[in-house]
Chains A and B, each alone.
Chain A
Amino acid sequence: MTRSAGRSVPRSDARAKVTGEAKYAVDASRPEMLHATIVRSDRAHALIKDIDTAEAAAIPGVSAVITSDDLDGLFPRFGHIVADHPILAIDRVRYYGEPVAMVLAASRHTAADAARLVRVSYEGLPEVMSIAAALEEGAPLLHEERYDHGDESFGEAMSDDWSPSNIAHEVCLEWGDVDAAFTDATEIVETTTHYPMLYAYAMEPYNALATFDEGALEVITTAQHPYQVREDLARIFDLPLAAVRVTSPFLGGGYGSKSYTKVEPLAAVGAWFSRRPVKLALDVEEAIYTTRADSATVTVKSAFGADGMLTARDFQLDLDSGAYADNGPLVLAKAVHRCFGPYRIPNLRVRGRSFYTNTTPASSYRGFGAPQGNLAGELNMDQAAERLGIDPGEIRRRNLLLPGEEVLPGARPLDADLPADLEMVLESLDSSRPRGPLHGIGFGASASDAGAFPVSTATIKVHADGSVTLLTGSTEMGQGSQTALAQIAATELGVPLGSVRVLQSDTAITPYERTTGASRTTTLTGLAIQRACADALEKMMAMVSESREVPVEDVKTSDGVISIPGGGDLTFAEAVQDWFGSRAGEVTGVGIVRKADSTAMLPPFWEIGMVGVEVSVDAETGYVTVDHLATVGDVGYAINPALVEGQDLGAATQGLGAALFEQLIYDGPQPLNPNVVDYRVPRSRDVPRTIDTMLAERRDGVGPYGAKGSGEGALNPIGGAVAAAVGRAIGRWPDRLPLTPEYVWRLMHMETEAE
Chain B
Amino acid sequence: MTIRTVVNGRPVTEPIPVRWTLAEFVRDRLGLTGTKLSCGMQVCGVCTVLVDGRPVSACSYLAVDVDGCEVTTIEGLADAGSLHPIQAAFVDHFALQCGFCTPGFIMMAKSLLDENPRPTRKDVVDYLDGNICRCTGYQPIIDAIVDASERMTP
Contacts and interface: CB of A to CB of B under 8 A. Distances in A.
Question: Bound pair: A and B?
Answer: yes
Contact of B35 (A20, A255, A478): A20
B125 A685 contact: yes
Interface string B106-147: 100000000000000000111011011111111111100000
Contact of B91 (A14, A201, A676): A14
B138 A203 contact: no
A250 B138 contact: no
A673 to B, nearest CB: 12
Interface of B: 17, 19, 27, 32-41, 43-44, 46, 73-75, 77-78, 83, 87, 90-92, 94, 96-103, 106, 124-126, 128-129, 131-142
B142 A684 contact: yes
Interface in A447-505: 477-480
A646 B87 CA distance: 18
A261 to B, nearest CB: 20
B88 to A, nearest CB: 8
Contact of B97 (A21, A24, A478, A686): A478
B40 A252 contact: no
A479 B97 contact: yes
B142 A203 contact: no
A201 B134 contact: yes
Interface in A499-548: none
B94 A19 contact: no
Contacts of B129: 683-685
Contacts of A21: 34, 75
Contacts, number: 161
Contacts of A649: 136-137, 139-140
A306 interface: no
B138 A18 contact: no
Given A203-B36, A684-B129, A109 B101 contact: no
Contact of B140 (A24, A646, A682): A646
A15 interface: yes
Given A284-B39, A675-B39, A684-B142, A20 B135 contact: no
Contacts of B37: 26
B43 to A, nearest CB: 5
A410 to B, nearest CB: 36
A13 interface: yes
Contact of B40 (A251, A283, A653, A684): A283
A283 B38 CA distance: 7
A241 to B, nearest CB: 28
Interface in A240-259: 250-255
Given A20-B74, A478-B99, A654 B140 contact: no
A646 B140 CA distance: 8
Given A10-B94, A478-B99, 20 more contacts: A10-B91, A17-B99, A18-B91, A19-B87, A20-B34, A20-B35, A21-B34, A21-B75, A109-B19, A200-B134, A203-B98, A251-B98, A253-B134, A478-B135, A480-B97, A649-B137, A676-B44, A677-B41, A677-B43, A682-B138
B36 A683 contact: no
Contact of A23 (B33, B73, B97, B102): B33
B137 to A, nearest CB: 4
A201 B134 CA distance: 7
A254 B134 CA distance: 10
Contacts of A90: none
B142 to A, nearest CB: 7
Interface in A129-155: none
A417 interface: no
Interface string A1-42: 000000010110111111111111011000000000000000
Nearest to B76: A20
